[in-house]
Amino acid sequence: MKIEILDSKGIKVISVSGDIDMYSSPDLRKELMQLVHKKVSPLLVDFRGVSYIDSSGIATFVEGLKNMMTYGGKLRLIGIPEKIMEIFCFAKLDRVFEIYGTIDDASNN
Amino acid sequence: MKDSATIIIPSDPKYLSVIRSVTTTMGGLFGMHDSVIDDVKLAVDEACANVIKHAYRGDTRQKIVVKFKLTKKGFEVIIEDNGIKAEPELITGRSLDEVRPGGLGIHFIKRTFDLFHFDEKKKKGNRLRLIRYRGGGNEDRDLGQ
């Protein structure tokens, strides 16, 4: 898994690629929670390069979202590949997260 | 002879990618649709992650034995460890309507496999048997084009 923190027109974007699993999710959690503790909002996560996610990866995002909700922060997920979207839908998390197709869509809302 | 393969990995999360690769290959040999292989890969990964987390409490120096069997009956995966005994009646996962971290892995396993059974005959550790029956009432559900 590779993580990059980017800036898109003043909005922070966590760009993730590769497999998010029990081995890699602690690194993702560290990066995500650093931004959450700084109360960054909105915070975008670019999923376009993600090839796999397991329950530990999903738990990382749920934890981030719940923490951001305490200060009214917005966590927006972008470009979730179809097979990963199916997992979010099964877990009923498509109703919980703000999900967008592109960075522009997420930035303009 | 039954088609089968056995893989032994250390109980270290970095080896879960190896389990996923072998599961993908075995699913392909079984003739599964790619979408089914994705589900099976996730389920086997979650079952092995549970061994690391619960049976071995994060100890990465132990071993996990994963056996794949491709039979007329279906796709079978047997996962063995020598860790703390699971209590199957307590393995329920969280409600999918509840939003909190954790508790999803067991749902990913049970939605994919028709049989989820801990062998009580194993004296030390656990032997989890997972079977996805061929067809499962729908002959086309697993097979590729």
- Across the interface, which of A21, A55, A62 has its CB nearest the CB of B99? A62
Question: Which among B42, B44, B56, B95 is the top mutation candidate for probing chain A, defined by the most A β-carbons within 10 Å of its own β-carbon?
Answer: B42
Choose, out of B17, B21, B32, B34, the residue to mutate when testing the contact with A (most A CBs < 10 Å).
Answer: B17
Nearest to B49 among A19, A22, A63 (CB): A22
- Identify any residues that bridge with B97 across adjacent strands, giving them in sequence order: none
Length of chain B: 145
| Among B52, B104, B108, the residue to mutate for chain A (most A Cβ within 10 A) | B104
Which residues, in sequence order, are CB contacts of B19 under 8 Å at separation 6+? B7, B9, B44, B45, B48, B66
Asked if A19's CB is within 8 angstroms of B17's CB, the reply is: yes
Q: Is B98 an interface residue toward A (CB < 8 Å)?
A: no
State how far the Cα of B9 lies from the Cα of B32, in Å rounded to an integer. 24
Query: pLDDT tens digits for B111-123?
Result: 999 999 999 999 9
B139 vs A44, which has greater pLDDT? A44
Q: What number is the ipTM of this complex?
A: 0.93
Reading chain A (109 residues) residue by residue, the pLDDT tens digits are 999 999 999 999 999 999 999 999 999 999 999 999 999 999 999 999 999 999 999 999 999 999 999 999 999 999 999 999 999 999 999 999 999 999 999 988 7
Report the SS3 class of residue A27: helix
A22:B42 CB<8 A: no
Give the pair of three-digit tokens for residue A63. 């934890």
> From the CA of A62, how many Å to the nearest CA of chain B?
6
Q: Which residue has the tokens 């670019």?
A: A46
pLDDT at B145: 43
Q: What is the pLDDT of residue B140?
A: 57
Instruction: Tell me which residue in A83, A92, A93 faces B38 most closely, judged by beta carbons.
Output: A83
Listed residue (B135, B113, B123) closest to B47, CA to CA: B113
Contact A54, B42 (CB under 8 A): yes
Contacts of B102 in chain A (CB under 8 A): 55, 59
